[in-house]
């Protein structure tokens, strides 16, 4: 299932991120803010259970998060900005990292790092990458998560291309996608159009 989060705040921030006039500092801030807003939607089905809490007035039962613990997993580099922001909302979550870059010639993902929480099989996993383009990186990352035992995986991205969504639906039909928008198509170099350019370069100022 694909969820496009059409909240006005998200759409406004995304439009600013697309703008070539938006510099590194603002781009980073927008990516972090938008990630937190996306998490609000992506985590809407987290389980709650009543806990006893004493307010200044009385003691009562109030809902708190329960059920499976959480793991946030970033696809490096660009996914890091998303997990760094979201972990502030769920500070008990463990954070994993999957290093992956897309070979510019073949457009195939190249894995270079893998560090996941040891108990990932028991956790609900939120995988983050701002860009779902061909879908190669996200599909390979989900494969690595499943090899490590993860069973409940949600993919969070800021922009998705129809081509990338089709790849995830084909390779991992059990994985839901939460995105701020689905753009038109990929260009000949595998970049999302209209898109926002190279997310990693814009976050880290490397171009």
Q: Which of residues 81-140 bind ligand URA (CB under 6 A)?
A: 131, 133
**Residue 101 binds which one of ligand URA, ligand PRP, none, with CB within 5 to 8 A depending on kind?**
ligand PRP
The reply on whether position 163 binds ligand URA by CB under 6 A is no
CB neighbour list of residue 114: distance below 8 Å, 6 or more residues apart: 97, 98, 99, 144
Phi, psi (deg, nearest 5) at residue 170: -75, -50
The reply on whether position 14 binds ligand URA by CB under 6 A is no
Q: What is the token pair recorded at 21?
A: 């006039």
Q: How far apart are alpha carbons 125 and 174 in whole angstroms?
A: 13
The reply on whether position 142 binds ligand PRP by CB under 6 A is no
Binding mask 44-63 for ligand PRP (x = CB under 6 A): --------------------
Phi, psi (deg, nearest 5) at residue 203: -75, -40
3-state SS assignment for residue 114: strand
The reply on whether position 155 binds ligand PRP by CB under 6 A is no
CB of 198 to ligand URA, least distance (A): 4
């Amino acid at each position: 299932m694909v969820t496009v989060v059409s909240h006005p705040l998200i759409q406004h921030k995304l439009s600013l991120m697309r703008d070539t006039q938006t510099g590194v500092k603002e781009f980073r801030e927008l990516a972090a803010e938008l990630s937190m807003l996306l998490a609000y939607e992506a985590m809407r089905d987290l389980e709650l259970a009543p806990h006893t809490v004493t307010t200044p007035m009385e003691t009562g039962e109030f809902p708190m998060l329960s059920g499976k613990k959480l793991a946030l997993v970033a696809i490096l580099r660009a996914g890091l900005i998303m997990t760094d922001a979201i972990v502030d909302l769920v500070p008990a979550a463990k954070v994993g990292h999957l290093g992956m870059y897309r070979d510019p010639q073949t457009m195939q993902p190249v894995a270079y790092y893998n560090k996941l929480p040891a108990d990932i099989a028991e956790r609900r996993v939120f995988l983050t990458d701002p860009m779902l383009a061909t879908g190669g990186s996200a599909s390979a990352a989900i494969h690595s998560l499943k090899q490590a035992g993860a069973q409940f995986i949600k993919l969070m991205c800021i922009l998705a291309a129809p081509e990338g969504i089709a790849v995830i639906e084909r390779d991992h039909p059990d994985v839901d996608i939460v995105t701020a928008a689905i753009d038109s198509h990929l260009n000949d170099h595998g970049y999302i159009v209209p898109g926002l350019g190279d997310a990693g370069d814009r976050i880290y100022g490397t171009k």
